[in-house]
A and B are shown apart, each in its own frame.
Chain A
């Protein structure tokens, strides 16, 4: 068994990122999990949030994802989400703008709450990466 993870970050309409990593951190419905090489096979649900990928060169890639799921099997990690964006692709200004608009739309609205979470995740991703 190699000591690296093969990571694929897949959105519905494209492959967002793929490569090797030493660790992946993602937020599931049960809380944050860190995946290291040799992890047991697991299928779990993700919530809107930030995914952290540490590469062997000690770089950190951060991506904002929508609710999706994570599957780990034999050092292959697949993160599937309908929408996923790498931190360097995110337009911070627009994310902030979206956040404000979503917040203004109302607190009780389910859809607005979802939009707020999504925008927050994107902002967090950018801040974490910088």
Chain B
């Protein structure tokens, strides 16, 4: 109990204002999650129709497309890491970065070189601090991604994938890669989000367990339809990853801020107890001083009589 009562009071006050801030952040995150989930739901019809169309083309035509062909030999792989722009979301960014680290390690063991693409300021800062090369970053949208961003990212990654020249990065276009992976955080529920790594390119067209699609006619031709569809499919997959990551980020932030608020509560309780003890100790001391003083006075007068 080395500190005085006044100092404890100051601590309680600062903890209380901290609690107010974390509480506000928790509520903001909670309200944004609902919006993020609505956005994810709103994007579902497009993804569903696109998947149907792609699997229809894949079922009825034997067109080989560069985006779906496995290269004979993979020497370079690209990883897109989806992180957040802001911190205070618990282990959100670090767990997705750890997952990316694991994937990069695995790819290197397979003898591939790894190119890194990043969305979100946290990931950018992590790589910059460690002075690791990053091909391209996109920032400033992590909690509410728009389709335009996904479009942009998709174009860059497709360009990298289609670029055959693997030795030199040509002017304006990134170095060619043979594989593209995405690492993002999947939103499982409000309580759990898990980082996942999936391969984006070459595409594996998932023929869903839907009934056989009707016998489509393709205009102008199956090849041209596929040409237009596949990049959109890739972009929609990236958009999906961004939306999931946004919802996960907000959920992680809400959880982190909730435990911060709880901790502040706990701390305030503890400080209050100590402060009360200090106050009582002060009172007890004062009383015993007074009693002691009175006694001494009484003894002195008793002795003189």
Chain A positions within 8 Å of B, measured between CB atoms, are 8, 10-15, 28-30, 40-45, 67-69, 71, 73-74, 78, 80, 82-83
Output the least CB separation between B141 and chain A (Å): 13
A-B contact count (CB 8 A): 81
Chain B positions within 8 Å of A, measured between CB atoms, are 39, 42-43, 45-46, 49-50, 52-53, 56-57, 146-147, 150-151, 213-220, 224-225, 228-229, 232, 235-236, 239
| Contact status of A13 and B53, CB under 8 A, knowing A40-B217, A82-B151 | no
**In this complex, what residue of B is CB-closest to A14?**
B42
On whether the beta carbons of B46 and A43 are closer than 8 Å, the reply is no
Output the least CB separation between B219 and chain A (Å): 4
| Contact status of A10 and B225, CB under 8 A, knowing A28-B219, A29-B220, A43-B217 | no
On whether the beta carbons of B57 and A12 are closer than 8 Å, the reply is no
List of B residues within 8 angstroms of A71 by Cβ: 49, 52-53, 56, 216
**In this complex, what residue of A is CB-closest to B48?**
A10
Sample of 13 further A-B pairs with CB below 8 A, known A12-B236, A42-B217, A80-B50: A8-B49, A11-B46, A12-B147, A13-B43, A13-B146, A13-B147, A15-B45, A30-B220, A41-B217, A43-B218, A71-B53, A80-B232, A82-B147
Across the interface, A74 reaches (CB within 8 A) one of B49, B56, B214, B220, namely B214
**Main DSSP-derived SS at the A contact region:** strand
List of B residues within 8 angstroms of A83 by Cβ: 147
**In this complex, what residue of B is CB-closest to A73?**
B214
List of A residues within 8 angstroms of B42 by Cβ: 13-15
Cα distance A80–B236 when bound, in Å?
12
List of A residues within 8 angstroms of B219 by Cβ: 28-30, 42-45
Identify which of B56, B219, B236 gathers the most chain A CB atoms within 10 Å of its CB.
B219
Output the least CB separation between B173 and chain A (Å): 16
Cα distance A12–B229 when bound, in Å?
13
A-B contact list, 27 entries, CB within 8 Å = A8-B49, A12-B46, A12-B150, A12-B235, A13-B39, A13-B46, A13-B147, A13-B239, A28-B219, A29-B220, A41-B215, A42-B217, A42-B218, A43-B57, A43-B218, A44-B218, A44-B219, A45-B219, A45-B220, A45-B228, A69-B53, A69-B228, A69-B229, A71-B56, A73-B213, A80-B46, A82-B232
Cα distance A73–B217 when bound, in Å?
10
**In this complex, what residue of A is CB-closest to B57?**
A43
Cα distance A59–B75 when bound, in Å?
58
Cα distance A11–B39 when bound, in Å?
12
Cα distance A83–B150 when bound, in Å?
13
